Structure 1
Amino acid sequence: MTAPRIVWLRRDLRLADQPAFCSAAAQGPVIPVYILDDERAGDRKLGGASRWWLHGSLEALERSLAGHGLRLILRRGDCVRHLLALVQETGASGIDAIRHYEPWWREAEQELADQADLQLHEGNYLAPPGLVTTGAGTPFKIYTPFARALTRLLPLRDPLTVPELTPVEAWPASDDLADWELRPTAPDWATGFHETGTPGETAAQAQLEDFLDRAEDYGEERNKPSADGSSRLSPHLHWGEISPTQVWHALEQHHGTGSETYRGEIVWRDYAQNVIHQFPRYPEESYREAFARFPWRNPDRDDAAAADLKAWQRGRTGYPIVDAGMRQLWAMGWMHNRVRMIAASFLIKHLLIDWRQGEHWFWDTLVDADYANNGVNWQWVSGSGVDSNMFPRIMAPLSQSEKFGAADYIRRWVPELAGLSDADVHDPADAKRPASYPAKRIGHKEARERALAAYRTVKG
């Protein structure tokens, strides 16, 4: 019998438009493998919310593979060690995988390629990072020219269909997914995560169809926290249950500003990968050197800063739109996109707490926590990034809340304020504020002046 090929899976948990499966299937029987490698990721091991989604995604993939007569082999530990052992156990001729760009995966791919036949394929992005360059042949740093250059090339290819998959005669040993305990039980703090979506490729396709029915209004509706205007595709894209190429082609059937707006967000996702391809530690280090001098309040040394950080994490800042977002994040493992920006700006500029504290919190609490997107978005808000908003542009959370009609959103996630009118719920006066809801940690005017004073020290 022809020697099998191992398909090494990470954030590419689908069968359709999956180049690694297509390549392996064309060469022989296929052994799909997922390895939970917390060791190599170090302090970037999956957060609690991500682990919840991963469990469901792997369950869904197991069901899909079973329909083709295949099993999903699960192992836990160092991925290179396990993959090399599987090659020996199964007599596999080599390994196929979709290329990943996080620094720990790039390191693992190089180490594996030195010891086995590793064939890497592109498939998680519209275009491979590094493909789109300036006229001088250098990588883009700024989003707008990157987006123009990339869009001119798209689409690079058509989506791939599910290949004919041949099982092996004897399967290697596998862990039981339940033994990994990826989901909480005592207590189960993730009971509301199902509202974010159902993990898996089938659910991803259904969510895309649902979004296409609403795509025309996306340009406006995406900014309204009280409306169901978001695509809800971000976890599916992050875990590779659907590819951006599939989404791009589906959107080609829908013309209008909404579809164009969402295409821009898919391009932004590619842009974020382009950034970490150039600067692998971008989610850990401010790009602009001047921010090394920024006088952040340090929660590890300052009790008041620690209390402010905890209030932000728990949704107890006294700013209803911020608190609603942070409570939604804890309950659902997801937060509305407009509110993500408001909440991030509040931590950085109102509370003067280092953007990395927020990035790490999002890493642990988002089901779609993405190394590149998370880091690029936080540095965009902080003003410290390669392409970012200017620090002095400080979002006013109270006016943002009113402008984008967040009254019902606040009532849902901050039930203490549910009885207030639209006029009062965005910024309840002390006389109308329930005793159970906290006063503002700091006033907006005071916070703005303090933030600008801190920024002046950076500017010298």
Structure 2
Amino acid sequence: MTTAIVWFRRDLRLADNPALVAAAEAHEKVIPLYIHAPDEEGEWAPGAASRWWLHHSLVALDKGLGRHRGGLQVAIARERAPTGSLEVLRQVVGETGAAAVYFNLLYDPAIRKRDAAVRKALEDDGVDVASFNANLWCDPWEIATKEDEPYRVFTPFWRNLRTRIDEREPLAEPKLHPQALKKSLPIDKLGLLPTLDWDKGFHEWTPGESGAHDMLGLFADDAVGHYSEGRDLPARHGTSRLSPHLHFGEISPPQVAQQLRAHFARRKNAPDLEPYLRQLGWREFGHHLLWHFPDTPKKNFNKKFDAFKWAKRDAHALRRWKQGKTGIPIVDAGMRELWATGWMHNRVRMLVASLLTKNLRQHWLLGEKWFWDTLVDADLANNAMGWQWVAGSGADAAPYFRIFNPVTQSEKFDPDGAYIRRWVPELRDAPGRLVHAPWEDEAFLKKSGYPKPIVDLKATREEALLAYQKSKS
């Protein structure tokens, strides 16, 4: 009777889990193991909001394994050990006689390096190692241009990827015979939950595989039918809100696509799913970029931007931006939503990033790091791609001279100010246009207690464009 270890990481589900399925098919016993090793992720160890989600997702996975009369085995790698996970895996192999280790791939640079070292060491020990793609339609190296180069522009990348995504069918949840370890830690011992009481709003989320499918069901029942126009309206749930579930591998892109198609298979007037699938393609593009250009979380993708002169770091302005006290209503609404819920609407993410990198001319790295700590869906590939896209330094980026006007944007996408009124209570009673630009009535602004704008939007736009022109010359 053979035993295999399934090393869970960010693939916290039982269905459509290639490593788990392969292990269950080849071995009589399976040890579902999670190793907590944040040090091995370098400077991109999970932020506070991600740790909250991870805790609850691990609890949900443990509960799911209970259906198979087992549970998740939990261990902590030795701190500041370069291959602490390897030590744990070797210990478990020695304790159980496991013949193989199965895991699903991750694409973050530090984890790739760690996984390569672990694989080599285990194989040198005589342990079989098998890895799989669980969280993307295609591995990043599988898609290339006709010149066999990585893509730098999204549209041709998507055309290539779109021809492949219908081929991937999700795998069914396997029958398991989990094996327990003599020493397995309670999930609470990982210390993932915050010590400060700031996460009350997070409880609108339901981390875990079941929560992911419930969220997909809500999207299929309502928002997907109006996705093209609804996705830009922050006051309504017009997006899928699946990003944290996808990041932690509680659901896969093939599962999402299959279930949406199945939901509308018998309907005469089924909505067009392509706009939403295309957004999932952007997620895939982010991982493609991270694989081929692993410096993008820290360095400009477009090296011409190395000559751009950012403003001196402004601690006061950064603090007001983080706290949602810039005096720009749509921006403050987004930053307060982020702090309260661990999430922000994508349209608003672009607006808060534009204000920081262009009107305030603060380096995009400062925003990227704040999002990393406060987003429940903080994903290295997509966080880096998003910030560089807005800043103008990334792949297929918005040109630097495209500077979002937050007033016209909020008038267009939050016309009655419902989103602003929800998150900025000082403006709840603002009449008409004042909800978007309260500084236009000094008496109202003073009465409301809302701060004056942190910058003059027109003047700082001109200053940013001038700095860009100087960097080009």
TM-score, length basis structure 2: 0.93
Q: Is the contact made by 1:80 and 1:108 (CA closer than 8 Å) also made in structure 2?
A: no
Alpha-carbon distance in structure 2 between the residues aligned to 1:143 and 1:256? 27
Alpha-carbon distance in structure 1 between the residues aligned to 2:432 and 2:232? 18
Shift of 1:222: 1.1
What secondary structure sits across from 2:199 in the alignment?
A: coil
Alpha-carbon distance in structure 1 between the residues aligned to 2:143 and 2:89? 32
Residue in 1 aligned with 2:54? 54
Shift of 1:257: 6.2
- Counterparts of 1:185-224 in structure 2, within 5 Å, are 185=195, 187-195=196-204, 197-214=205-222, 215-224=224-233
Residue in 1 aligned with 2:301? 287
Q: Which runs of 5+ in 2 are unaligned?
A: 78-83, 123-127
Stretches of 4+ aligned residues off by more than 6 angstroms:
none
1:201 is aligned with what amino acid? E
Residue in 1 aligned with 2:81? none
- Counterparts of 1:378-457 in structure 2, within 5 Å, are 378-405=387-414, 407-428=417-438, 429=440, 430-433=442-445, 434=447, 436-457=449-470
Deviations 1:133-168 (A, max 9, x none): 111222212110000011012222211000110123
Alpha-carbon distance in structure 1 between the residues aligned to 2:294 and 2:388? 14
Q: Is the contact made by 2:165 and 2:254 (CA closer than 8 Å) also made in structure 1?
A: no
1:298 is aligned with what amino acid? K
Shift of 1:172: 3.5
Q: Equivalent pairs: percent with the same residue?
A: 44
Shift of 1:332: 0.3
1:432 is aligned with what amino acid? F
- Counterparts of 1:317-396 in structure 2, within 5 Å, are 317-396=326-405
Shift of 1:422: 3.3
Residue in 2 aligned with 1:302? none
Residue in 1 aligned with 2:261? 252
Residue in 1 aligned with 2:167? 156
Q: Is the contact made by 2:372 and 2:378 (CA closer than 8 Å) also made in structure 1?
A: yes
Q: Is the contact made by 2:7 and 2:103 (CA closer than 8 Å) also made in structure 1?
A: yes
Residue in 2 aligned with 1:36? 36
Alpha-carbon distance in structure 2 between the residues aligned to 1:456 and 1:370? 32
Alpha-carbon distance in structure 1 between the residues aligned to 2:114 and 2:30? 21
Shift of 1:385: 0.9
Match of 2:94 among 83, 88, 93: 88
Residue in 2 aligned with 1:97? 103
Deviations 1:231-265 (A, max 9, x none): 11111111100011101112334486652111011
Alpha-carbon distance in structure 2 between the residues aligned to 1:203 and 1:109? 29
Residue in 1 aligned with 2:71? 71
- Counterparts of 1:260-271 in structure 2, within 5 Å, are 260-271=274-285
Alpha-carbon distance in structure 1 between the residues aligned to 2:301 and 2:323? 29
Alpha-carbon distance in structure 1 between the residues aligned to 2:216 and 2:428? 33
Shift of 1:61: 0.4
Alpha-carbon distance in structure 2 between the residues aligned to 1:399 and 1:199? 35
Q: Is the contact made by 2:137 and 2:168 (CA closer than 8 Å) also made in structure 1?
A: no
TM-score, length basis structure 1: 0.95
What secondary structure sits across from 1:50 in the alignment?
A: helix
What secondary structure sits across from 2:42 in the alignment?
A: helix
The 1:397–1:39 alpha-carbon spacing in structure 2 relative to 1, beyond 3 Å, is: same
Alpha-carbon distance in structure 2 between the residues aligned to 1:99 and 1:402? 43
1:208 is aligned with what amino acid? L
1:147 aligns with 2:167: no
The 1:444–1:347 alpha-carbon spacing in structure 2 relative to 1, beyond 3 Å, is: same
Alpha-carbon distance in structure 2 between the residues aligned to 1:381 and 1:167? 46
Alpha-carbon distance in structure 2 between the residues aligned to 1:418 and 1:454? 37
Shift of 1:356: 0.6
What secondary structure sits across from 1:442 in the alignment?
A: coil
Q: Which runs of 5+ in 1 are unaligned?
A: 300-304
